[in-house]
Structure 1
Amino acid sequence: MYNQRRHGASEGKYSTYGYYEKYDLDLWVNWVVNRNGEDGIIGLHGESMGAATVLQYADINKYVDFIIADCAYSDMNELMKFRIKEDIKLPAFPMLKFVELKSKRRARFSFKDVSPINSIKYNEIPVLFIHGKNDKFVPTYMSEKMYEVKKGMKRIYLADGAAHACSIEVDKQKYEEVVFEFINEVEANLGKSV
Structure 2
Amino acid sequence: MIINKMKIIIQLWFQLLLWVSIVAAIAYFAICLFLFVQQPRFIFFPSSVIEKTPEFFNIPYEEVWLPVPVDSGKVERMHGWWLKSNQPDAKVLLYLHGNGINIGANLAHANRFHQLGFSVLLIDYRGYGRSEGDFPNEMRVYQDAFTAWNYLVKQQQIPPSQIVIYGHSLGGAIGIDLALKHPEAAGLIVESSFTSIRDLISYRNLFQIFPVDLILNQRFESIQKVPHLKVPVLFIHGTVDSTVPSFMSQKLYAAAPEPKTLILVPGAEHNNTAVVANMEYLQWIESFVHQIYARILFNTRQ
Q: Aligned pair 1:187/2:289, yes or no? A: no
Q: After TM superposition, list the pairs within 5 Å mapping 1:73-88 onto structure 2.
A: 73-83=194-204, 85=205
**2:251 aligns with one of 145, 150, 160:** 145
Change (3 A) 1:8 1:95: farther
Assess if the C-alpha contact under 8 Å between 2:126 and 2:133 holds in 1: yes
Change (3 A) 1:190 1:178: same
Provide the residue aligned with 2:113 in structure 1: none
Structure 1 residue 40: deviation in Å? Answer: 4.9
Hey, what's the Cα distance between the residues in 1 that align with 2:189 and 2:177? Answer: 12
Q: Aligned pair 1:22/2:128, yes or no? A: no
Provide the residue aligned with 1:132 in structure 2: 238
| Number of residue equivalences | 176
Change (3 A) 1:166 1:93: farther
Hey, what's the Cα distance between the residues in 2 that align with 1:149 and 1:9? Answer: 36
Change (3 A) 1:62 1:26: farther
Q: Aligned pair 1:96/2:218, yes or no? A: no
Change (3 A) 1:93 1:178: farther
TM-score after normalising by structure 1 = 0.81
Change (3 A) 1:92 1:126: same
Structure 1 residue 26: deviation in Å? Answer: 1.2
| Structure with greater Cα Rg | 2
Structure 1 residue 98: deviation in Å? Answer: 8.4
Identity of aligned residues (%): 24
Structure 1 residue 124: deviation in Å? Answer: 1.9
Assess if the C-alpha contact under 8 Å between 1:23 and 1:57 holds in 2: no
Deviation string, structure 1 residues 16-67 (Cα, Å, up to 9, x no partner): 3x54312211111111111224275110111111111101212311542211
Structure 1 stretches (4+) deviating beyond 4 angstroms? none
Q: Which amino acid in 2 is paired with 1:166?
A: N
Q: Which amino acid in 2 is paired with 1:92?
A: Q
Q: Which has the higher contact order (CA 8 A, sep 6+)?
A: 1
**1:71 aligns with one of 176, 179, 192:** 192
RMSD, aligned CA = 2.2
Q: Could you tell me which runs of 5 or more consecutive residues in structure 1 were left unpaired when the two chains were aligned.
A: 101-109
TM-score after normalising by structure 2 = 0.54
Change (3 A) 1:77 1:168: same
**2:268 aligns with one of 158, 162, 172:** 162
